[in-house]
Structure 1
Amino acid sequence: MKAAILKSLGHPLAIEEIPAPLIGTGEVIVDVVAAPVLPYANEVFSGERRYSVELPIVPGCGAIGRVRASGPDATHLEAGDWVFCDPTVRSRDDALMPDITLQGWSARGEGGLRLQRHYHDGPFAEQIRVPTENAIRIGDIAREEAARWCALTVMLVPYGGLLAASLQAGETLLVSGATGNFGSACVAVALAMGAGCVVAPGRNRQVLDDLRRRFGERVRTVVLTGDEEADRERMRQAAPCPIDCVLDLLPPSAPAKAARAAIMTVRPNGRVVLMGGVGMLGGEDLRLPYPWIMRNDITVRGKWMSAPEAATRMMRLIRAGLLDLGQFDVTTFALERANEAVAHAAEHGGAFKMTVVQP
């Protein structure tokens, strides 16, 4: 089969023929129809992001495709079923503390690397082998819709954080990093879940105006200045009522003070979920004040990706018409043009922009 292969960091992907994956018990072979190219893929492939990955590898993170074959443990999947290939692979031998790898993308710790050596290659190929539980049925779609369904990969990240935060209908949420690829998707997902108001801070006034145009009065935008105290007060003032929850999705390039300004807008007894990359490349630590957390009964937790059932729950939001995949502007590339796709994704990685490779 044809695949795009990352052989060494800082070099273009090689488009080559490689053996098709072989199925084992507990696994599914999927014919890849569409695979998203994340906006920071160039940073991963160059080594700038310092992700744990063993080369060579067929990269990618998530896909939409059709089942080619499933193992004897599959009781519902059938050949031809449309599925979302969830990239979050968990080890099966420790339910309490499973090791995790993002198939074709990165691994968490030594256990994650061991898992990655088996579920190694991602979806920049004509076929992919995934664990049975990671092939999630999405129902019938037209083939031309597959690229737009790749938005699941983007939306599942903030959805995982919102589920971890136990966001309730009618609550006020602040999305730190609202003008980015994941942050803007978070605004859409939170509103679909029934958030009463979403405060959306950012520096890009054009994107903020677009969020208001798309979603109306339930979105309150704030143009940030870089002054931590002043920005914090302006975010609080933008909310119609106390902020119940803050979800941070700022990238590694963002300063800690930007994340801290947003996080400390949350009300007493509020919740904070950290999903971004602040501090991953060095720089100042987040430094949240211990007395503020303790005296205000603030819950602060981290969340990486989403729970196993999240993709099925999100698919239901889409099927119910609460989440509109039509919000995304999709540009597609053939697999042979994977390097062009990576460059395009880096240059067009803003709100509701999506680049997709179609093998």
Structure 2
Amino acid sequence: MRAAVLTEFGAPLTVREVPGPVAGGGEVVVDVLAACVLPYAAEVFSGERAYPLVPPVVPGTGGVGRVVHAGPDATRLRAGDLVWCDPTVRSRDDALTPDIALQGWSSRGDGGAELARYLHDGSFAERMRVPTENVFPLPAAAGEDPARWAGLVVHAISCGGLLAGGLAAGETLLVSGATGNLGSSAVAVALAMGAGRVVAPGRNQAVLDLLADRFGPRVRPLRLTGEEATDRAAMCAAADGPIDMAIDLLPPRAPSSAVRAAAMSVREYGRVVLMGGVGMLGGDDLALPYPWIMRNSVTVRGQWNCPRTANVGIIRLLASGALDLAPEQVRSFRLDDVNEAIAHAAAHGGPFERTALTPSVR
């Protein structure tokens, strides 16, 4: 089969013939119809983000595909089924603290690295091998535009963070990083999940206007000044009531003060979910005040990627129409044009902009 291979950091990906995947026990092989190219993929492949990928490797974070072969432990999947392949792989031998790897992308700790060595290759290939529990059936409509549905990887991450924070219908949410690719997804997913109001702070007025136009009065856009105390007060005022939960999805280069301002806007007994990349490239610690967390009974938790349930939830939201993919701008590229796709993704990483690779299309 053909695949796009990262041979070394800093080098363009090379499209070449590689051995096709063979499923072991508890695994599924799929033909990859479409895979999302994330906006920061170029930073990963250059080595700037220092992800623990080990070249040569076929990268790619999940995708939409059709089942070629399912193992004997799959009782419902059949060859030809249209499916979503979740890249978040967990070890099966520790239910309490499973090791985690993002197939074809990253890993956590020694155990995660061991998983990544076994499930080494991702979705930038004509076929991929996936654990059975990471394969989720899709509605037939996804087969009409798999490149659009490949953006599911972004929405599933948002959904995972909102589930982690226990977002309930009618609550007010603040999305730190709302004008970014992932943050804007969180705004859309939160509204689809029933949030009563979403405070959307950011510096890009054009994007703030876009969010307001698309979602109406349930979204409260707010232009940030960069001054922590001023911005925190403005966030609370924009909510026009208590902020139940804040989720941070800011990228690595954002200052920790921006995260702190958003986190400290939540009410007493509020929740804060940290999912962004602040601090990954250095910079100040978050430094949330101990007395504030303790005296206000605030819950602060981290969430890396999403639990399996988030995949089921986001597929249901998409299938029902509660979350609409139609307004998203999608550009598709063939496998041979993978490096062009990576450059396009980097230049078009704004709200609801998606870049997809279509490996099975010649």
Q: TM-score, normalised by structure 2?
A: 0.98
Aligned to 2:346: 346
Counterpart contact for 2:155–2:185, Cα < 8 Å:
yes
Query: CA-to-partner distance for each residue in 1:265-290, whole Å, 9 max, x for gaps?
Result: 00111000000011111110000000
Q: Distance in 1 between matches of 2:101 and 2:210?
A: 35
Counterpart contact for 2:142–2:149, Cα < 8 Å:
no
How high is the sequence identity, in percent, across the aligned residues?
62
Aligned to 2:291: 291
Structure 2: 5+ residue stretches without partners: none
Counterpart contact for 1:172–1:242, Cα < 8 Å:
yes
Q: Distance in 2 between matches of 1:281 and 1:241?
A: 35
1:50 deviation in Å?
1.2
The one-letter code sitting in structure 2 at the alignment partner of 1:47 is: G
Q: Distance in 2 between matches of 1:293 and 1:141?
A: 46
1:142 deviation in Å?
5.6
143-152 or 191-200, which moves further after superposition? Answer: 143-152
Q: Distance in 1 between matches of 2:139 and 2:242?
A: 40
Counterpart contact for 1:82–1:139, Cα < 8 Å:
yes
User: Where does 1:268-347 land on structure 2 (aligned, <5 Å)?
Assistant: 268-347=268-347
1:74 deviation in Å?
0.6
Q: Distance in 2 between matches of 1:262 and 1:135?
A: 35
Query: CA-to-partner distance for each residue in 1:29-59, whole Å, 9 max, x for gaps?
Result: 0000000000000000011111111111000
Aligned to 1:92: 92
Aligned to 2:197: 197
CA, structure 1 residues 237+150, in 2 after alignment: closer, same or farther (shift >3 Å)? same
Q: Distance in 1 between matches of 2:201 and 2:164?
A: 21
The one-letter code sitting in structure 2 at the alignment partner of 1:333 is: F
Query: CA-to-partner distance for each residue in 1:226-248, whole Å, 9 max, x for gaps?
Result: 11111111111101211000000
Q: Distance in 2 between matches of 1:143 and 1:191?
A: 25
The one-letter code sitting in structure 2 at the alignment partner of 1:17 is: E
Q: Distance in 1 between matches of 2:104 and 2:229?
A: 41
The one-letter code sitting in structure 2 at the alignment partner of 1:278 is: V
Asked if residue 114 in structure 1 is aligned to residue 107 in structure 2, the reply is no
Q: Secondary structure at the match of 1:83?
A: strand
The one-letter code sitting in structure 1 at the alignment partner of 2:65 is: G
Asked if residue 128 in structure 1 is aligned to residue 154 in structure 2, the reply is no
- Number of residue pairs matched? 359
1:62 deviation in Å?
1.2
1:158 deviation in Å?
1.2
Aligned to 1:67: 67
Q: Distance in 2 between matches of 1:16 and 1:321?
A: 39
The one-letter code sitting in structure 2 at the alignment partner of 1:77 is: L
CA, structure 1 residues 142+159, in 2 after alignment: closer, same or farther (shift >3 Å)? closer
The one-letter code sitting in structure 1 at the alignment partner of 2:338 is: A
1:310 deviation in Å?
1.3
Q: Secondary structure at the match of 1:15?
A: strand
Aligned to 2:37: 37
Q: Secondary structure at the match of 1:350?
A: coil
Query: CA-to-partner distance for each residue in 1:94-129, whole Å, 9 max, x for gaps?
Result: 011110000000011110010011111000000000
Q: Distance in 1 between matches of 2:158 and 2:69?
A: 31
Q: TM-score, normalised by structure 1?
A: 0.99
Q: Secondary structure at the match of 2:288?
A: coil
49-58 or 75-84, which moves further after superposition? Answer: 49-58
Structure 1: 5+ residue stretches without partners: none
Counterpart contact for 2:82–2:143, Cα < 8 Å:
no
1:217 deviation in Å?
0.1
Task: Give the alignment's Cα RMSD to 1 decimal.
Answer: 0.8
Q: Secondary structure at the match of 1:153?
A: helix
Query: CA-to-partner distance for each residue in 1:123-153, whole Å, 9 max, x for gaps?
Result: 0000000000111111223644101111210
CA, structure 1 residues 225+142, in 2 after alignment: closer, same or farther (shift >3 Å)? closer
Q: Distance in 2 between matches of 1:310 and 1:256?
A: 27
1:320 deviation in Å?
1.4
The one-letter code sitting in structure 2 at the alignment partner of 1:101 is: A
Aligned to 2:171: 171
